[in-house]
Structure 1
Amino acid sequence: MAELGEDVREVMWGADAGVLNRTGWSQPALFALEVALFRLVESWGVRPEVVAGHSLGEVVAAHVAGVLSLGDACRLVRARAALMDGLPTGGAMLAVSAAEADVVAVLSEGACVAAVNGPSSVVVAGTEDAVGSVARRVSELGWRHRRLSVSHAFHSPLMDPMLEEFAAALEGIEFREPVIRLMSGDPTDPQYWVRHVREAVRFGDAVRAMVDDGVGTFLELGPDGTLSAMIQETAEVTTVPMLRRDRDEEESAVTAVAGVFAHGVAVDWEAFFAGTGARRVELPTYAFQRERFWPEWPAAPGDVSGAGLESVEHPLLGAAVELPDGGGVILTGRLSLRTQPWLADHVVHGQVLFPGTGFIEIALRAGDELGLQQIEELTLSVPLELPETGAVPVRVRVSQPDADGRAELDVFSRDGEEWIRHATGVLGATAVEPVWDAGHWPPTGAVALDLTGFYDGTEYGPTFQGVTAAWRVGDDVFAEVTLPDRVRDVAAFGIHPALLDAVLHGAALLEGAEPGTLLPYAWTGVGLHASGAATVRVRLSGSASEGIGIAVADGTGKSVATVGTLHLRAPEHVNRVRSLYRVEWSTSVPAVEVGDVRFVELVGGADVVASV
């Protein structure tokens, strides 16, 4: 680029940084760098919908948008830089953290607004005395400010002596209509570029206009991330600087391209990897389970006291509020696969369901609010489906305990405008006593069971495949259950729902158990004796048809949890249906005339039906 001067490359990579800081060289060097960065990302298929620039950067934007040919853009930059560099030294610039109107109110004669970079980011330029007066005034007001290291007061009246000669230098330069949308005034008017030297840079206005038009991702092409910080002050959008002064250039550039790609910007990866030997490979043709190694933490509700709530500090519940006049308590929460990614492994008939053991954990925590230590009974009526994106609001309602220390509990979720009741039960004040000493393990006389293919045919992910060993003693089944290391927030739960859910899988090993997945729907006598276990020993007795008794202990034999009776049910009616129950009309039951029936109460099983 001869128009920039034959020695630009030598100055940019030369040993004397002071030369590069001179206006006559810094502007051509910035132009060359920014154009080169644009052409680099363009070669990788990254093409913008709109371009904008700050001061000299607007000349770069005009060139890449098609307003100026490369030769004409270089001539404009060279003339601009040389004429600015030839002005008398002196003048000053001051960055002030305040709104434009407030800054204008404290300006002294000889000072003006040189740039408005954001809602509270303004640059003042002018004579040394005038800018010094502004600095003293803003200091008295307590506004943050700093002097900029510059050779001249750009975009101020001190630029006036060069304007006529600069206008003459633009003669013969062709200005064309842009082919890429350009956030600018009238870039085809040579006088616009003359005024551009003198008038304030209104970068904040350009950013706001782009955001209002739907721009959500900004790629900054320059030597650092200065503009990215300015953009963030104006709007909550994605900003990605191509280079950072404190990072390796190649690493920074590649990271930037990956960053914009992650936010939906198209990248031509074949062009990006051209010449590297990289090639596409086929993904496995079988279903595979992804395993994340990036640290994940559950979302915390933050300080909710300002909203009149109390934090319950639980992964599934965020806050609680006591109802007046002895009305009990309401607990709230939000269930989502983003904040609790382990839930995505609980898949039944292709649908991610909140595990039934999660309702047990919620009920136990709700009981803590009122000092209730036992779940006397809990019935699950409607499965809670979890969407791939978004969150499901949850409400837990617990009544005030009666004279016997018993309280009613209901768990709801919201689907659009509708509240759905998923579980109902009764909490009790009396703690369930531990019933099993698991100190000797495995139990005497235990016969090991073969678990080969134990989880075949299920859709559970690794988090819910916790049964690692099993034995049988008489009619009882004993099992060892472990949570995988990927589950990181075990201590935050009373008993982690994935661990308790895996405990229930041992029911499939009981005599007479039907094959296939079984889901819990009716619990009685549930008590928690210790929390935070990741590996447990389990004893299951009874049968899937008549009810199962469960005792859970930790690795030392200390009791963790007790379930008096649990009833399980096959999930054939779960997918896309909101109830574990079903209604069938039987023609085999003889009709009985009962007269003019106004009310019917049904007690018992499915052999009793009535028509009203």
Structure 2
Amino acid sequence: ELRSALADLIPKSPTIPFLSTMADPATAPVLDAEYWVANVRQPVRFSHAVTAAGADYGTFIEVSPHPLLTHAIGDTLADVHHHSVSTLQRDTDDTVTFHTNVNSTHTTAAPVTEHVCGPHPVLPATPWHHTRHWLSGTPAASVVGHPLLGVGVTDPTNGTRVWERALSPDFLWLGDHCIDEACVLPAAAYAELALAAVAEAFGAVSNKPWMIGELCLHQLMPIGDATVVVTTLSGDESKPCVEIRSGSGASGWTIHASATLERGAQSAPQPPEVDEASATELDADDLYRRLRSAGQQHGPAFQGIVSLTVSDSGAARAFVELPSEAKAGSRRFHLHPVMVDIALQTLGATKVATDLAGEAGQGSAVVLPVRLAGVRVYGDVTEGVCAVGMLRAGSSPDRFVG
């Protein structure tokens, strides 16, 4: 009956290699009616066909909804260079199973082929990045005392107090304060050094807090890998004087700041008057972009302006918070230099400063403090402050008073 039904078949030679499980696998069978009748009646020569295929191929893929022959193929070809996979498996995600099994043909038994000779490309050299991981040779005493002031001693010949601290850009937050891409000590740090020196030398009295009468800034202090900062205090408690110098290697000593201090009467701060009705809100990011174009780069530790406004009178007002990058060890400061520096940034938003930047072109005018006077500490500024800045022309075209 099957022979009669298939009598009209006119088979052609297969174009794809075909190994029969009924006829001799070494020869291509003729798929006529007699072949299919014999396929039904004769035993299945599965192992012969698989063995013949395994002579030239190492991977067998069973295309079926569930594997039925993969184990039989594996048992027939026990050589580790052969393996069989299925396409799908019931009760699983078809897409995941299909891609997983197909990928296994590359990872489990990748085909071994002859290495093709050819031109070898020139590979780039390894870009070695040298990083020092050695223990620092800095004495253990350098981590004791005030974060910036360091450890002090008294000169027995004249009673002068001397403190020394080695600073580098990776110390605390110093690396986030740069001018023209060079790390420099913030002006506010000199005020903190002066206040810390007199407080350590003569103590603090709650009803007569120390204040800075005048702080003169003579020269910027670049911070290198081994910049030694020396703070000296001369004079008695009635009229102390502080000087701050730096030295690096054989370059000698440079004086950067000098300050006179006194005890002031305890008083409450007087908030400055600002016309809030005429205030215009500004974008703090625009201020930092203008400062950067002027050569003043403030990293995350020195970007603490939360909101910023300027009034018709030209005064700028900012709410300032201590950035998280500057909070380490903040309780050990008398007047946190980062908060003071951010407060001074408010002067850059005043009308005088913006007009000056416009005249200089793209904010290229660099304005730096050279003198501070009447600096008082009323409380802990690290909890957040409101900074109000006014700027007016000074006695010369390149001088301003804020």
Classify the TM-score, shorter chain.
Answer: 0.5 to 0.7
Q: Is 2:289 aligned against 1:456?
A: yes
Cα distance 1:431–1:350, how it changes in 2: closer, same or farther (>3 A)? farther
Could you tell me which residue of structure 1 aligns to residue 233 of structure 2? Answer: 398
Could you tell me which residue of structure 2 aligns to residue 365 of structure 1? Answer: 196
Displacement, 1:398? 1.0
Could you tell me which residue of structure 2 aligns to residue 466 of structure 1? Answer: 304
Cα distance 1:361–1:546, how it changes in 2: closer, same or farther (>3 A)? farther
Distance 2:157 2:265 in 1: 27
Cα distance 1:321–1:419, how it changes in 2: closer, same or farther (>3 A)? same
Paired residues of 1:520 and 1:567 also in contact (CA < 8 A): no
Distance 1:432 1:546 in 2: 33
Q: TM-score scaled to structure 1, two decimals?
A: 0.36
Residue by residue over 1:280-319, the C-alpha shift from the partner in whole angstroms, topping out at 9 and shown as x without a partner, is xxxxxxxxxxxxxxxxxxx997558xxxxxx972111221
Distance 1:545 1:468 in 2: 29
Paired residues of 1:374 and 1:432 also in contact (CA < 8 A): no
Q: Is 2:335 aligned against 1:495?
A: yes
Q: For this pair of structures, how many residues does the alignment match?
A: 241
Distance 2:262 2:278 in 1: 35
Superposed, which structure 2 residues align to 1:203-242 within 5 Å? none
Could you tell me which residue of structure 2 aligns to residue 481 of structure 1? Answer: 320
Paired residues of 1:353 and 1:383 also in contact (CA < 8 A): yes
Output the amino acid matched with 1:343: L
Q: Which gives a bigger RCO, structure 1 or 2 (Cα 8 Å, sep 6+)?
A: 2
Greater Rg by CA: 2
Q: Is 2:270 aligned against 1:436?
A: yes
Distance 2:183 2:275 in 1: 36
Distance 1:401 1:527 in 2: 20
Residue by residue over 1:26-74, the C-alpha shift from the partner in whole angstroms, topping out at 9 and shown as x without a partner, is xxxxxxxxxxxxxxxxxxxxxxxxxxxxxxxxxxxxxxxxxxxxxxxxx
Distance 1:546 1:531 in 2: 34
Question: SS where residue 533 of structure 1 aligns?
Answer: helix
Displacement, 1:414? 0.7
Cα distance 1:435–1:531, how it changes in 2: closer, same or farther (>3 A)? closer
Q: Is 2:201 aligned against 1:353?
A: no
Output the amino acid matched with 1:454: L
Could you tell me which residue of structure 2 aligns to residue 386 of structure 1? Answer: 223
Output the amino acid matched with 1:522: R
Could you tell me which residue of structure 1 aligns to residue 35 of structure 2? Answer: none
Residue by residue over 1:536-561, the C-alpha shift from the partner in whole angstroms, topping out at 9 and shown as x without a partner, is 111223426479xxxxxxxxxxxxxx
Paired residues of 1:351 and 1:385 also in contact (CA < 8 A): yes
Displacement, 1:443? 7.0
Displacement, 1:324? 2.7
Superposed, which structure 2 residues align to 1:58-457 within 5 Å? 302=140, 313-324=145-156, 327-340=159-172, 342-368=173-199, 369-371=201-203, 373-387=210-224, 390-401=225-236, 405-417=238-250, 418-431=252-265, 433-437=267-271, 444-445=276-277, 447-451=279-283, 453-457=286-290
Cα distance 1:303–1:343, how it changes in 2: closer, same or farther (>3 A)? closer
List, as ranges, runs of 4+ consecutive aligned residues in structure 1 with deviation greater than 6 Å.
Answer: none
Consecutive unaligned residues in structure 1, runs of 5 or more: 1-274, 276-298, 305-310, 548-565, 569-612
Superposed, which structure 2 residues align to 1:524-563 within 5 Å? 524-531=373-380, 533-543=382-392, 545=394
* Identity in percent: 25
Distance 1:328 1:397 in 2: 7
Distance 1:336 1:431 in 2: 37
Could you tell me which residue of structure 1 aligns to residue 351 of structure 2? Answer: 511
Distance 1:472 1:377 in 2: 28
Output the amino acid matched with 2:392: S
Displacement, 1:522? 0.7
CA RMSD, Structure 1 to Structure 2 (Å):
3.2
Cα distance 1:443–1:339, how it changes in 2: closer, same or farther (>3 A)? same
